[in-house]
Amino acid sequence: MNKLSLLLAAALAAPVTAAPPEPKLIVAISVDQFSAELYNRYRAGFTGGLKTIGSGIAYPVGYQSHAATETCPGHSTILTGRHPSGTGIVANSWFDKKTGSNVYCVSAGLNADPQARGPQNLRATTLGDWMKKAVPADRVFAVSGKDRAAITMAGHMSNGTYWWADKEGFRTSSFAGAAGPEVTQPAKAFDAKLFADWAAKAPVIWPAPSAACAALQKPYRFGKADISGKVPPDATLHVEDAPGFAATAEFQDQLRASPLFDKLILAFATQVLDQNQLGKGPGTDLLAVSLSATDYVGHRYGNGGAEMCVQMAALDEGLGRFVEHLKGLGVPFVVVLTADHGSTDAAEREHDHDPQASRLDGGALVSDLNKALKQQLDLAYDPIESGDPQQIVINVGADAALAAKVQDAAVAWLKARPEVREVLTRAQVEAATVAPGTPADTLTIAQRFNESYDPERSGDIAVAFGPRTSFGVPRGPTDYVAGHGSPWDHDRQVPILFWWPGAPGESRPAPAETVDIAPTLAALVKVQTPKVDGKCLDLGANCGR
């Protein structure tokens, strides 16, 4: 047999990915703070929805390839196909030098109701926008525990965008999309029944741990806070004892950082599916669901203990019920599941097996930097404005010469700090452009910052601290002990999973990116995309073949 024949035989023998049917319904799920590390740590034990969704075309280690690994930037990439440099969502909030104030990423504008929320700061369009522009009968809905997650996935033309408001339930805003009675009344009915049910019988905030999860129960001192490591956590034990507990700030706080929160989000998402008969209209429908509990649990307790173990089991079970409900709709559908960012465990527990892990008081560092600059440059005011030590903003007005002196002095001071790995000026970040097609796992630190850089909204100095740094010093049982936000892979790597009934099982090692999701789904529904940073991932015959 000649070489050509051998190649032809090999090609014919190679498995061919079975393309999904053209869907009537797309369900895009984001699990907030669901790192690739976390997914792969528990993957073998999943028996519910995460097992099902992971049994399709899976990229177990995908990327939010940029440096700004926070909720708002990460969610803005999933259905726009653009990095934060293209969406304009460079952080959860940023300092506006023109107004001298902080801007929340989904604030609807300075002249609007301060509680109004919408996509006005989102400079890119979403898959839902593209679909509705092409076929006005298509419908777009989004549900999340967080406003910034729902809004950035829904886009500018939503038929209904909902998020949880403490003590109120699921709400929306006219700035976020349609907000007439047909949108608000179902949410009010859901909330009324929910609070009535809670008044009649207190809900189970935390299910009992399995034997495997119970084995992870261990006390730690995180910062200055002593945590028992038990499930249910100590702080949740008596939140339901007070009369009218469901309306108390204490209960609402504990609710967010518990498996019950995702259960509520999925229950309401199921109602949105059913009441709007999604997948059964004249067009194709999109439902975006962002599940927020993993993020709150990870911040409150870290991701290496029994609390996260129980959360993973509950998430798997809840998604299992949700997937079974989707199957019962009787319509062709496709599910994609990913995350807005990864995370690292609390530094003290992480340090047990990673000596690099450390804790940093970011507020104290910025304060010390301001003190040093004031003394060195003989200033009477703080020249640095920053709520995030990874994005330093020079705030000295229009004095360019002084700004240059502040930058040089700040860079030198930061580079001398042992916690700092890299310091980049605005010019250095701007120059670190990324050539199209560059694999996400090969980007330099400067390129990662470039992918989340916006000249009007980003800081003047970008700082990369050591890997596995936990920011902040917890002092009590409700303080955050761990998190994310760095340019390191533990915060960038997330799973990207595509599944539909009959999907072939295929685990791919390629470093796919979340910006690839929107063009991939757009190809499935035959919708033209505007300029995007991502590429179409081959799910069969979807990418122009």
Active site residues: 71
Which residue is it, tokens 């035959």? Answer: 526
Q: Where are the alpha helices (DSSP H) in 257-346?
A: 259-275, 293-301, 306-327
Helix (H) or strand (E) holding 107: none
Place of tokens 């003047």: 460
Residue 369 Cα distances to 59, 73, 407, angstroms? 41, 27, 11
DSSP string, 44-94: GG--SHHHHHHTSEEEEEEE--SS--SHHHHHHHHTT---HHHH---SSEE
Tokens of 427: 């010019």
> What is the C-alpha to C-alpha distance for residues 70 and 54, in angstroms, rounded to an integer?
24
Token pair belonging to 178:
């349609």
Helix axes 249-256, 259-275, angle to 10 degrees: 80
Give CA–CA dist 232/195, Å, rounded.
22
Instruction: Name the 3-class secondary structure at 162.
Output: strand
- Cβ(232)–Cβ(205) below 8 Å: yes
Alpha carbon of residue 188 to chain centroid? 26
Residues in contact with 522: Cβ distance below 8 Å, sequence separation at least 6, in sequence order? 81, 127, 130, 131, 528, 529, 536
